[in-house]
Each structure stands twice: as C-alpha cells, then as structure tokens.
Amino acid sequence: MSGATRVPAAEQTLAILTHLARHAGPLPAGRIAADLGLPRSTTYHLLAVLTEAGFVVHLPEERRFGLGVTAFEVGSAYTHQDALARLARPLLARLVDTVGQSAHLAVLHGREVLYVVEERGQGRPPLVTDVGVRLPAHLAASGRAMLAALPAAQVRALFPDRSAFVHRHGIGPASLSALRGLLSDVRARGYALEDGEITPGFASVATAVLDHAGHPAAGLAITYAADDPEADPSALAARLREVSDTLSRRIGGRPSS
C-alpha cells in the first residue's frame, strides 16, 4: 500500500473475501490459506471473525466456507451509487418501447430483492415493484433469476430453514428442496417465471445480469397481465436476455451467451 500505513489484518481479511467472491462455490480453509499464502492459524481466526459478522458462512458438513448474507448486502450497496441504475435505465426504456410491457431492475439484498429501476409501459397499470420496494427473492422472477445463478451453498446460506420462506398470497416454494427444484427449472429454461406470487393477475419473466465472476449483479424482469394473449414468456425472455447480456458487458461481466 504505497503512501499509506499497512494494516496486515485488514489486507488479509479483504483478500479472503475477494478470494471467496472469485470462486463459484465455498472453499476449505486450508485451500484459502494456501491460495493466499497465509498461515493456517491466521486464516482460521479471520474466518471465525468474518463468520460471526455474517460476511462468511461455515458449512460444517462440507468443511468449507462461503460468502454470507452480509457480504451480499454490502455488495448490493453498489447500486446506491446509482451507477448500475444509470447504465440500465436507457436499456430498459428501449426494451419497454419494443415489447410494450413494464420492466424493472432489482438487486439481491439478503433474502429480498430491492427494486432500483422501473420503466412502465404506456397505458400499463402501476405495479408493486416500484423503486425502493423490497420483496421476497424466492417469489419474484428477478430474485429467482439471481438465485439460480448462485452456488447451491450460497442459496442454502440464504434460506437455511422454513422460517426463511415468507409468502404473500399462499403460493410459492416453502422449503429449500422446493426452491432448489424451482431454481433447477430456471437454469434449464434459461429464464425465471412468476405467476401471481407477487400480485394476483400479473406474471413476470426475468433474466440475470452477471458480473466478472459470473455472480448475479442484478435481475431484469418484464411484468405483464397473466391473461394477456399477446404476452409470450419465451419471446419476452429472449428480449430480456439481449438486454441483460448487454448490461453484463457494460459492468465488465460475463454475458450468458
């Protein structure tokens, strides 16, 4: 650190968090220590502190460590600088003009999605997904798109038991196994769906925006009346994929295609 006082513990802590963020799944403590050239005792001590603070989650059965809920909350604070929203807004505006439906961008904030951009289609009704609104990630299409892009261990850390599953209208996954099945379908299909789980009578389709490590930086979604005969989810998803890939490139990330 040129021109500044070195703080080894702080540097080592940041190195551990950055190292975990760059891997698709949790890592053993020994692997982390070896990769970073840290003493094992130091690595275990720092991991214990990070786990207590929620930045890291310990998976005892696997003897591995991964990023925790607090790390995701800090990461989502990037949107407070408005950079992601500013990049996404013109792309969403053009998308809405093309498809004639409302669209929005959301980020993960713990077990919720936080909506940061909304573009309403001409003549379309207002939606609950207004800027600043938080909704359960496992119910929202944008949340499902992002959760499907996370490693399984991270999903388990976010939803450790049934108490983590809240409902708005009595439908949607209520357990980790049900959520895993749903997310598997999202990955196989290439996009997420939601029908009536956020607002009765409305459905959404969504895709994820991926960062440089392939992690979900945001979710893009189109919402439409569930009985709209002109709303083809697969066609809307194809349009969304073009936009999410463009936004992924703009933030230095990895487009899905």
In tens, the pLDDT along 155-176 reads: 998 898 888 898 878 788 999 9
- pLDDT of 3 above 50: no
Which tens digit of pLDDT belongs to each residue from 212-249? 878 898 999 999 999 888 889 999 999 999 999 999 98
- Determine the pLDDT at residue 128: 65
* SS (HEC) of the chain: CCCCCCCHHHHHHHHHHHHHHCCCCCECHHHHHHHHCCCHHHHHHHHHHHHHHCCEEEECCCCEEEECHHHHHHHHHHHHHCHHHHHHHHHHHHHHHHHCCEEEEEEEECCEEEEEEEECCCCCCCCCCCCCCEEECCCCHHHHHHHHCCCHHHHHHHCCCHHHCCCCCCCCCCCHHHHHHHHHHHHHHCCEEEECCCCCCEEEEEEEEECCCCCEEEEEEEEEECCCCCCCHHHHHHHHHHHHHHHHHHCCCCCCC
**Domains in the chain: boundaries:** 8-67, 74-250
- pLDDT of 125 above 70: no
CATH code, 8-67: 1.10.10.10
CATH code, 74-250: 3.30.450.40
Is this model's pTM higher than 0.85 or not? Answer: no
State the average pLDDT for the chain: 87
Which tens digit of pLDDT belongs to each residue from 12-57? 999 999 898 888 778 999 999 999 999 999 999 999 999 888 888 8
Distant-in-sequence, close-in-space partners of 183: CB < 8 Å, separation ≥ 6: 144, 147, 148, 155
